[in-house]
Structure formats: C-alpha cells, structure tokens
Amino acid sequence: MVDWEGAGRRCRRCVVGWIIAAVLVGGSIAPGVHAIEGVGLSLGSLSGPDWRADGIDLNLDWADGSEAGFRLSVRELQLPGLPRPVENILVECPRGRVDGFYLSCADARVRIDPAVLDRPAFRAAFQWDFPNRRLSLSLSELRIARGKLGIVLEADPSGWHLEMRGHALDITRLGVLATPYVSLPKGWETSGRLSPRIKIRGSGKKVLEFNLNARYQDTGFSDPQSEYLAEGLGGQVSGHMRYRGRLWKGKMSLQLEQGEILTPGFYLSPPGEAIEVNSGIRFDPGARTLEIDALQYHHKGVLDAKVSAGFNLANGLGLQHLNLQTGRIDLQSVYGEYLQPTLAETLLDDLAWKGQAELRLNYSPTARSDLAVTLHDVHVDSAVEGSRVTGQPRPFGLYGINGRLFWSRGGTPGGSRLSWQRGHILDKLSLGPAHMELRLSDYEVRLLGPAEIPLLDGQVLVDRFSISQAPDDERHLEFDAVLTPISLQSLSRALGWPELAGKVSGVIPDVSYRDGRLQVAGNLLVRAFGGDILIRRLRIQDLFGVFPILNAELVFKDLDLEILTRTFSFGKITGKLEGVIQALQLEDWTPVAFDARFGTPEDDDSRHRISQKAVDNISNLGGAGVAGALSRGFLSFFEDFGYKRLGISCRLANGVCEMGGVRPAENGYYLVEGGGIPRISIIGYNRQTDWQLLLDQLRAISATDSPTVD
C-alpha cells in the first residue's frame, strides 16, 4: 500500500469533493489511479460554509479496473440544523466503483455513534458525479425511535430533493430526538406510533417545498392536570407546503378514524366513519404567525363547520382571531357525541335534545367578538334518564324553542329573541307559550322588557331577569316577578299533594343565584287561604344538584281556617290563624329542623266554631285520648262547638317533634281552649312525637285520641 497523503495535498480540491461526498452519503472515494493497490490519506479537518469535519482518515484498496474498496472514518461531523456533532463515523464499501471523477457504492456499511440511532450500523448506497456535483444517496432501514427509517437524497447545483419513509416510529422517542428543535409544554406526555412519508425540496440551506403523508396509530397524549387526554387515536395526516416570497403556503388534511379525545370543553370519538379536517395554511417565519384558511370540519351526520384562525407563535400558541360557521347542527347528535361526557355531575349532564341550530362566531382576544345562534324547533328536557331510575321529577323542560341570539363583547349587540311553545318545571308545573326580548353582551344576559310566562292556570310576570359571570367566574342571577293567582287545586295536583282549595299569588322580589346558592334578598309574599304567607331569608344551596338544602322563615297572617280545613278535609273550623316557622331547614326537600308555632290571633273577632270531626283530629295530634268520644256522649247532639282560641307548636330536631299548645294545662297543654256555648277544650299530653309518625297521622287524618270537655 502506498501513502498518498502528499498526493492528497497536491490534489486537495478533488479529495475535498470526494471527502464531502463520502461524509454526507456514508461512502468513501479515491482518485482514479490504477497502478496503485492502496491509498491511505490522513486529511485532518475539512470545512465548508455550513459544515465541518474533523479527524478524517481515508483508505482505498484497488481491485480490477475502476473497482475499489473504501474505508472512511470521521471523528466528528458538524452539519447545519443538527444541535450537536455526529461522532465516530465509519463508512466501509467493500466493492465500489471509481471512474475518473465518478464515484459509486451499491452496498456500503455505515456505523455512527449510537446516541441517535437504536442500532449504530446501517446500509447505504450512493453515486457521486464530482465535476457536475450530482449526488444520489440511499440509506435503508435505519433503526431509529424503535422503528425503521429509509432516506433517499438527490442533489445537484440546481437544488436537492430528500425523501424519508418511516415505519412504526415511536412518537415518544421522536419527541425526545426533536427536543432541540421543538418541544411540548412542560409535563405533557405522548405515546403511539407514526409511519410517515416525507418529501422535502430545497436549494442550498433553504427548504422550498415540503410534503407529508403519515399514518398514526395507538396515539395518545395527556397534560399534567389530566384535563386534556387522548388514547387509541388512529388515522392519517397529509400536507403540502411551498415557500413563496417570505411565506410558507399550503394545505393540510387530517382523518381521525378511531380513538378518544377528552377535554374540558368537548369529547370526541369517531363512531365508525372518519372525521375529516381539510385546511389551507399560511406561515410567516419572520413574523412567527400562522394562518388557518377555510378549514373544513366534517363529521358525517353530526357536524359540518368552516373555520379560519390566526396564531402568533412568538410566545406559545397565541390565538389572534377565530371565525367559525356551521350548517344546521343536529343538537341531539352534537350533545351526545361531543358534550355529554364532559358534563358529568353538572346540571347539564342528563339532557334530551331535539331540533337544530346554526352558529356563527367571530372572536378576537383584543377586539370585538360576536356570536350568533339560530334555533329551529328545539326541545330540551333535563334529568331524563336520572328521573327514570330515581323517580324524581325532571327539573325543567322546554319544547318548540325558536329564536335568534346575538352576543357581543366590546360592541353593541343586535337584539335577541327567544320563544317556546310549552314546557315544565319539576315535571308537572306546566308552562305555556312565551316570548321574550334579550340582550347578550360581554358576560351578561339581560331581559329587555317584561315577559309573561303562563304557569298552570296563572302567569309569572317577569319584570327583571339577568344572568352574569363575574371575573372570579362566579355566576350571578337576578330576578323579580309577580305570580298572578293560580288555583291551589291545579298546583296541588301537579305536585302530588292532597287536593287544595283556593288560590295562590304573590310577589317574587330580588332573587339572586351566586356560586350555586339561590337567595331571596326581599320577602316573598304568597296570598293563599284567604291570608298572606310571608317567606323570609330564603336560601337554597345546590338548587339543581343531587342534595339541595333550603333554609327559610315563614310567617302566616290571617289565614281563613274554614278554607284551610276544608282544603285538607280536616273537619270544619271557623276563625283566623296566624303562625311562624323559624329556622326551617329542608335537605333534599325533606324537613329536618324547624321551630313552628300556630294559633288564634289576639285581635281575631271572627266567629270561632269547630266541628266534631275537627275535634277528633286535633285530639289525635296531641295524644289526648280515645278517638270518637264525642259520638258517645250528650255532646254528640251538637254539630260544632265554640272555642276561645286554639294553637299548636312543634320544634323539630333529630327526627323528633317537641309539641306544645296555646298555654300550659295540668300534665299537658291546651290545643283548643273552650269558649262560648257549648264549648270544648282539647288538652294534649304527648310532649315528644316522632316526626314521621306525626306526618302519617296528618296524611291519614285518623282519630285516635279523645278531648277533655269543659
């Protein structure tokens, strides 16, 4: 073997060309000398405008004619775009071809430092035409990211073309390798496999065109808080980008065929047919801005939408503007496919939808934003499945909803209107047709004028209504209304109560709802049983939740006992009744605590009479004796009796009612204090009574005790 180091120095331009080719393509070259059997060159360092190679050694072994073997080693190679040098490169070509300035190797073996590749050795083939500077390179079956990668490169003075084909590349590992160029937000994790085909065309250090077609499978991601999750994603993505002027322009297409995506705002899982997304793209590398043009979103039978958006990539993925327009959306499909899985344990987690809607959104984080929604014959019913299982009433339902809603932030919104044909509250409280004019702006929905909402055989006249969201994300509701007379008969039937007589009406002032709590700041006045019922300090926590808690105080004034007792088939009593229920607490609409007192008003000058049936029923409540005693004595000849005053009290705690009456009596308390002729007094003896037993007695209206007669 002859040492050609000096020859290499004398023909350095040739050698440099060959070395560059060898370094870049994984082969080795030698001058076309036929009389020499071997050449060994120690070239030290070579460099160009955007590359550098150090520790270069080249050995050539001549065979017959133009055939030769190559062996090239490079201690360190720095290339543009790589975050760190490639080290310890060894290229061996046992049988290559050297013909003048034409160099080729059909089966080179390459070995590099294993920091990037899973296996440090791979095969390569190349052809190099040095005078014309034409290069052809093929690298096959590179083991990288737990998959395979093939690379084909074609280059000449007019430019270069690179094609890469990957198979089952591990996305997590690819993310690690790509960290010097791009990285996920801190704490995010990815998984899955990617099989890409990438074509890149360029000139010098400039990339001019980019094509991508890739299949992904078993792909997933998650954020540190587990709010954004995906698993089992499968489909394909393709795109084409071309550099024109200072902009990248192109198109992108994505098909999602399987898997699940869950975010705080929506859930997504293809039902068997791919979800398709197609879009135009513009990217300005200098300004770091990305424009999504005319994106088409197609989910067959569920949702079609057009979207355009702009992003500033200088600091993360900052949204600059968003425009969204849909065709007619089937609300039942969109709710079931996209929304319901994200609404667990909320007011909206069990809704039945029918009807269609259209949506148009223009959004900007810094300028005016507008939203328009058009509703077409929409039906919505709440807690449908839950009510079937538990038997509890459905909180609300509205049917035949139509309207156009316009929302604006930072501008004056157009007028909104909303109407419905019928509805219900708590299943049986029926609502009639209603129409209202609204204004939706910033974080508020406000009623523009009075609205009349038919309720049973009366109406709710709404004077003021607004819903707003404060900066601290608390939702506020304000409400003023008047309830026109509703028959207690229809109300009791709707609520499943014993059938009541009379009418109920009232004023509903200053109702607010904040942070899950409904509160009436003023006094709620209800007119019923010929008198007034004043509801004060009304508060309801978790109104539409699984365990609502109600606190209130009730004051009863001038109730007509004849109407009241006739309503409950209690037996006839005439006169007036007043009372108070303090510290009332209901849990899941069941009384658990209160302090109640009822009695004859001090200034009541009306006629006080009580029937035999009422005497027996009142006696039963206080444990006064054997029922039906009046029917066995001389008092059985009288239909009713006089009384001076009557009353009863109950303090409920821990399921036990501590009983009392109008005043103390020997060993008991007076439930009825006699007066007039004939007169009768009823004394109760039970100081403590099981609350459930007392309720059962009231429901059954059975007589079990006897009165004491004066």
Rounded to whole angstroms, the Cα distance separating 585 from 539 reads: 10
Query: Structure tokens of 427?
Result: 């299943």
Q: Quote the radius of gyration of the chain (alpha carbons, Å).
A: 43
The pLDDT tens digits of the residues spanning 171-198 come to: 999 888 877 666 777 888 999 999 999 9
What is the reported pLDDT for 2?
Answer: 34
Q: What is the pLDDT of residues 648-698, one digit of tens each?
A: 999 999 999 999 999 998 888 889 888 877 777 888 888 888 888 888 877
What integer is the mean pLDDT of 124-139? 84
pLDDT in tens, 594-624: 999 999 999 998 999 988 888 878 877 765 5
Residue 12 sits at φ, ψ, to 5 deg, of -65, -35
Residue of 156, 154, 106 whose CA lies nearest to 130: 156
If one compares 389 and 70, the residue with the highest pLDDT of the two is 70
Across the range 206-227, mean pLDDT stands at 92
Average the pLDDT over 11-33 and give the result.
40
* pTM for the full predicted model: 0.69
pLDDT band with cut points at 50, 70 and 90 for residue 429: confident
Label the pairing between strands 159-167 and 169-170.
Answer: unpaired
- The pair of three-digit structure tokens given for residue 570, joined into one six-digit string: 């209690």
**What is the predicted pLDDT for the residue at 28?**
33
Q: Is the pLDDT of residue 342 over 60?
A: yes
Q: Are 657 and 650 in contact (CB under 8 A)?
A: yes
Q: Could you read off the pLDDT of 45-99 as tens digits, one per residue? A: 877 555 677 998 878 787 666 677 888 888 988 765 566 788 888 989 888 887 7
As a whole number, the mean pLDDT across the chain is: 81
Cα 214 from Cα 252, distance rounded (Å): 12
Q: What is the DSSP string of 192-222?
A: EEEEEEEEEEEETTEEEEEEEEEEEEEEEEE
- Least Cα distance to 127 among 16, 13, 18, 8 occurs for 18
Residue appearing with tokens 């060898």 = 22
Strands 416-420 and 434-441, by their bridges, are antiparallel
Rounded to the nearest 5 percent, the helix, strand and coil shares of the chain are 15, 60, 30
Query: What band does 326 get if pLDDT is binned at 50, 70 and 90?
Result: very high
pLDDT on residue 577: 95
Per the DSSP assignment, residues forming a β-bridge with 116 are: none
Is the pLDDT confidence value at 300 over 60? yes
Rounded CA-CA distance 89/77 in Å is 8
> What is the tens place of the pLDDT at every residue in 549-575?
999 999 999 999 988 887 777 788 999
Total count of residues recorded for the chain:
710
Point out the least confidently predicted range of 311-320, 419-428, 631-640, 692-701: 631-640
Q: CA-CA distances (angstroms) from residue 294 to 209, 281, 300, 533?
A: 21, 9, 18, 61
Instruction: Check: CB of residue 285 under 8 Å from CB of residue 246.
Output: yes
Q: Helix and strand tally (H, E) in the chain?
A: 9, 46
Give, as one character, the DSSP assignment of residue 629: G
Q: Which residues contact 202 (CB under 8 A, 6 or more apart)?
A: 159, 160, 162, 208, 209
In this prediction, residue 707 carries a pLDDT of 39
- Domain boundary assignment for the chain: 1-144, 529-700
Q: What is the pLDDT of residue 9?
A: 40
* Cβ-defined contacts of 450-457 (< 8 Å, 24+): 455/425, 455/429, 455/430, 455/431, 455/483, 455/486, 456/429, 456/430, 456/486, 456/487, 456/490, 456/491, 456/494, 457/486, 457/487, 457/490
In tens, the pLDDT along 484-543 reads 888 877 887 777 666 666 677 878 888 877 777 788 877 777 888 888 889 888 888 877
3 state SS for 425-438: ECCCEEECCEEEEE
pLDDT for residue 3: 38
Angle between helices 691-700 and 612-622 (to 10 degrees): 170
C-alpha distances out from residue 689 to 382, 579, 663, Å: 39, 20, 18
**Residue 4: pLDDT band with limits 50, 70, 90:** very low
Residues whose CB is less than 8 angstroms from the CB of residue 91 and which lie 6 or more positions away in sequence, other chains included? 22, 26, 27, 28, 70, 71, 72, 73, 108, 109, 110, 111, 124
